[in-house]
Structures are given as C-alpha cells and as structure tokens.
Amino acid sequence: MTEVFVNMGEISSAKNHGILTTVGLGSCIGVTLYDHKVKVGVMGHIFLPRSRSNDQGAPPGKYADTGIPAMIQEALRLGASKSRLQAKLAGGANLFPNLSLNTISIGQQNIQAVTELLTQHGIPIVGQDVAGNHGRKMRFFVDNGVVTVTAIGKEPVQI
C-alpha cells in the first residue's frame, strides 16, 4: 500500500486506499478528516493556530484557521459529504514544560483552535491523543479510517 508522508504545513489526501503518515508531531497538531461511505481521507500537519500577515505566501495547511477550511474543501473535491466527515487529532504537546514561553502552551493553543474550527463546521471529533509532553507519529489508513499514534519507545495506539 502506498504511504504518503505529510510534512509540517502540508495537506494530503487519498481515496479508497493508501496510508497518510505524519512524523514528529510536537506542539503541532495532526488532523485527519474521513468520510466512511466514500472512503475519502485528508490529513493535515498544522504548525500554529492563526495565520500571520507577515507570512502571506504560506501554504494553507500551516495554520489552523486556513488549514481546516482547506482540508474540508479537499475532502469535498474527492467526493466526500461534509455531513459525514469525522475528525481525529494527535499532537499539541508541550516538549519544554519548564520553559514558560506562553501562558498557554502553543500545543494547547493548537488543540483549542482546531477543536473550535471543527465544531463551527459541525464536524465531530471521534478520536484523539493530544497534549502531554512527548512527540508523536500519526498514521491514517484510508481504506478503513483507522488512525494509529506512536510515541518513542511505545507501542502504537489506535484512536
């Protein structure tokens, strides 16, 4: 089965089969959207919650506010129905908990932003493995919608 690697800031999609994988989620958040009926899957690896005026040429997937709408559009383009889309999340960790960089960690801000945007679009979050202080790898099996999350030295968990 083909496995496509989704880098930071990217959005990738597949239909019927294939694996979408993103490696090294720290404070970033990995998001998957899936329509079971037509087996359409989209994955994004989001860096920060809000897009910036000084980063105009950025790909939409870099920021949650532009990334979530772009992911939905990509799913619809492949024949998904918005009402059937379900989301899963992984990441949003804080790897340097003893550094007070922000009052709310960037990981936490990413979780909040993505959750709010999905709620606004009426897309339920059916699985998640977020927050904590460790990095994650996320694999999305588009033939059945299964998502596994792996941390260093741990067995993969299904969400």
Partner 1 sequence: MNEQKLDFLRELAVIGTGHATIALSQMLQGRMFKLVVPDAQMLPFTEAADYMGGLEQVVVGIFVVISGDVRGYMACLHPLDTARLLVRLLTGQETEEIDELGRSALQELGNIMVTSFLNALSKMTNLLMMPSVPGLAIDMAGAVWESILAGAEVTNEVTVIRTKFSAEGEEIEGHIIFLPDEDDFRKIARQFGLEDLG
> How many whole angstroms separate alpha carbon 67 and alpha carbon 65?
6
CB of 32 to partner 1, least distance (A): 18
Q: Is 1 in the site for partner 1 (CB under 8 A)?
A: no
Alpha helices (H) in 1-159, listed in sequence order:
64-77, 106-120
Taking CB under 8 A as the criterion, the residue among 7, 16, 119, 120 binding partner 1 is: 7
CB of 97 to partner 1, least distance (A): 8
Taking CB under 8 A as the criterion, the residue among 40, 48, 75, 85 binding partner 1 is: 48
Question: Distance of alpha carbon 153 from its chain centroid, rounded?
Answer: 22
64-77 and 106-120 helices, crossing angle to 10°: 40
**What residues between 109 and 128 interact with partner 1 by CB under 8 A?**
none
Q: Of residues 11, 19, 28, 71, which has the active-site annotation?
A: 28
> How many whole angstroms separate alpha carbon 135 and alpha carbon 45?
13
Q: Identify which of residues 106 and 147 has a Cβ nearer to partner 1 in the complex.
A: 106
Binding mask 60-99 for partner 1 (x = CB under 8 A): --x------------------------------xxxxxxx
Query: Residue 47 is encoded by which pair of tokens?
Result: 């860096």
Q: Is 27 left (phi over 0), alpha (psi -120 to 50) or beta?
A: alpha
Q: Is 28 a catalytic residue?
A: yes
CB of 18 to partner 1, least distance (A): 20
Q: How far is CA 31 from CA 97, 100, 103, 153, in A?
A: 23, 26, 24, 23
Q: Is 43 in the site for partner 1 (CB under 8 A)?
A: no
What residues are annotated to the active site? 28
- Contact residues for partner 1, defined by CB under 8 A: 7-9, 23-28, 47-48, 52, 54-55, 58, 62, 93-99, 101, 106-107, 133-137, 152
